[in-house]
Chain A
Amino acid sequence: AQSVTQLDSQVPVFEEAPVELRCNYSSSVSVYLFWYVQYPNQGLQLLLKYLSGSTLVKGINGFEAEFNKSQTSFHLRKPSVHISDTAEYFCAVSRGTYKYIFGTGTRLKVLA
């Protein structure tokens, strides 16, 4: 069965510092990978997705993620965060179907 692990439930980081949010998945077959962001009282917004091709994926708001098949990881990174990046971030995986498997989320708190 597939699963998604987000090891860090909360990540505090100072403004303008870099950040990495970790995501590992388990699957024996090819998967599609997604990162979503949820701002307070809002729905989930797609940040970026990996379907195939280049393992470095660039998304909105300056975020990027790297697909590492050997380590079954899809970590999200941003070189310099802003206060407005404070939100909850969800990693999700799909085996190419509509059924997404989500991680438990990571709360990013950017400190002034």
Chain B
Amino acid sequence: NAGVMQNPRHLVRRRGQEARLRCSPMKGHSHVYWYRQLPEEGLKFMVYLQKENIIDESGMPKERFSAEFPKEGPSILRIQQVVRGDSAAYFCASSTTRGQSYEQYFGPGTRLTVT
């Protein structure tokens, strides 16, 4: 029973390049959440998606960041024209339905380094 999968685990990009981070939720989960962890900080909510819909993107930076969760395939977090400040760990989580506890299952994260 595979958990939440993220790839790549480590990603190095030069300033100005694009970064694509992938997240495959747990089997049967249709809700995906992305969080960012900057150095020495806690995880911060970025976006919540269901299949083909963005439900809440209030934590996403206004520019250069976008997310999608297509009908088929993994959820993608895309960062265009990366800058050094984008260096962070990006975690994806998934859940079944909203339910009472909103228990979210986390992936291992993608560590993005911008040089």
User: Which residues of chain A have a CB within 8 Å of any CB of chain B?
Assistant: 4, 6, 32, 36, 41-46, 49, 51, 90, 92, 94, 96-105
Contacts and interface: CB of A to CB of B under 8 A. Distances in A.
Contact of B45 (A46, A51, A99, A104): A99
Contacts of A99: 45, 48, 56
| Interchain residue pairs A-B with the least CB separation, the first 10 | A102-B42, A44-B106, A43-B106, A102-B43, A43-B108, A104-B42, A43-B107, A98-B102, A99-B45, A103-B42
A102 B101 CA distance: 16
22 contacts: A32-B101, A32-B102, A41-B108, A42-B108, A43-B3, A43-B4, A43-B109, A44-B91, A44-B106, A49-B103, A51-B101, A90-B42, A90-B43, A94-B102, A96-B102, A98-B95, A98-B102, A99-B48, A100-B43, A102-B42, A104-B41, A105-B42
Interface of B: 3-4, 6, 9, 31, 33, 35, 40-45, 48, 56, 91, 93, 95, 98, 100-109
A6 B42 CA distance: 10
A32 B93 CA distance: 17
B101 A45 contact: no
Contact of A98 (B4, B40, B48, B106): B48
Contacts of B93: 44
Contacts of A98: 31, 33, 48, 56, 95, 98, 102, 104
A63 to B, nearest CB: 16
B48 A104 contact: no
Contacts of B40: 104
Contacts of B95: 98
